[in-house]
A and B are shown apart, each in its own frame.
Chain A
Amino acid sequence: MNATLSIAGVYLMRTLRSWKCTVPIGVILFLAFVKAHTLANLSGMNQWDVLWIYWNDIHMVTLLMIPSFLFLVSDLHVHDTVTGYVSMIYPRVRSRERLWLAQVLALLWIAIGYILGSTLVIFVVSGFFVPYQWTWSVPPAASQILFGNGLGVFPMLHSTALWGRSPWISCGWVWLLATLELWSLSVVTVTVTLRTRHHYLPVLLAFVIGAIGNSLLSEVPILLIPTSQLLVSYHLPYVIGYSLTGGFHVMAGQTTQTLGWSVSYLGFLLVASAFIGRWMMRRGDLARDKSQKG
Chain B
Amino acid sequence: MTNAAISVDRALKRFKSRVIIEQIHLTVPYGQFCGIVGANGSGKTTLLRCIAGLMIPNSGSISVLGQRLFPGPGTLPEGVGALIESPGFIGNLSGTKNLEFLLSLSSKRTQVDIASVLSSVGLSPGDRTKVRSYSLGMTQRLGIAQAIMEGPRLLLLDEPQYGLDPDGVLQIRNLLSQLHAKGTTIVMVSHQIDEVSALCDVVYEMRGGHLVLGGTSS
- Residues of chain A touching chain B, judged by Cβ–Cβ distance below 8 Å, are 2-3, 6-7, 9-10, 13-14, 17, 79-80, 82-97, 282-287, 289, 291-293
Identify B86's interface contact among A80, A84, A93, A285, CB under 8 A: A84
Q: Knowing A94-B107, A96-B75, A286-B54, say if A89 contacts B88 (CB, 8 Å).
A: no
Across-interface contacts of A14 in B (CB, < 8 A): 90
Binds A, one of B2-10, B45-53, B164-172, B175-183: B45-53
A287 to B88, CA, bound (A): 12
Return 14 A-B CB contacts under 8 Å, by A number: A9-B104, A79-B88, A87-B52, A87-B82, A87-B84, A88-B102, A91-B76, A92-B106, A94-B76, A94-B77, A97-B73, A285-B49, A287-B49, A287-B84
Identify B73's interface contact among A90, A93, A95, A292, CB under 8 A: A95
Q: Knowing A6-B105, A94-B75, A282-B73, say if A84 contacts B87 (CB, 8 Å).
A: yes
Q: Knowing A91-B81, A94-B76, A286-B55, say if A83 contacts B88 (CB, 8 Å).
A: yes
Chain B: CB-nearest residue to A94: B76
Identify A10's interface contact among B76, B83, B101, CB under 8 A: B101
Say how far B109's CB is from chain A's closest CB, in angstroms.
Answer: 8
A246 to B73, CA, bound (A): 51
Do the beta carbons of A91 and B82 come within 8 Å of each other? yes
A13 to B102, CA, bound (A): 12
Across-interface contacts of A88 in B (CB, < 8 A): 82-83, 87-89, 102, 143, 146
B129 within 8 A of A: no
Do the beta carbons of B56 and A284 come within 8 Å of each other? yes
Say how far A103's CB is from chain B's closest CB, in angstroms.
Answer: 13
A85 to B105, CA, bound (A): 13
Do the beta carbons of A86 and B54 come within 8 Å of each other? yes
Do the beta carbons of A289 and B46 come within 8 Å of each other? yes
Residue picked from A17, A89, A94, A285, most chain B C-beta under 10 Å: A94
Across-interface contacts of A285 in B (CB, < 8 A): 49, 54-56
A89 to B89, CA, bound (A): 10
Counted as pairs of residues, one from A and one from B, with CB atoms less than 8 Å apart, the total is 108
- Residues of chain B touching chain A, judged by Cβ–Cβ distance below 8 Å, are 15-16, 18, 20, 41, 45-46, 49, 52-56, 73-78, 80-90, 92-93, 101-102, 104-107, 143, 146, 152
Across-interface contacts of A7 in B (CB, < 8 A): 105
Residue picked from A17, A82, A285, most chain B C-beta under 10 Å: A285
Say how far A40's CB is from chain B's closest CB, in angstroms.
Answer: 38
Contacts A85-B89, A91-B52, A282-B73 supplied; 17 other A-B pairs, CB < 8 Å: A6-B104, A83-B86, A87-B52, A87-B85, A87-B87, A89-B105, A90-B54, A94-B75, A96-B73, A96-B74, A97-B73, A284-B56, A285-B49, A286-B54, A289-B49, A293-B15, A293-B16
Say how far B96's CB is from chain A's closest CB, in angstroms.
Answer: 15
Say how far B212's CB is from chain A's closest CB, in angstroms.
Answer: 21
Say how far B207's CB is from chain A's closest CB, in angstroms.
Answer: 17
Say how far B66's CB is from chain A's closest CB, in angstroms.
Answer: 14
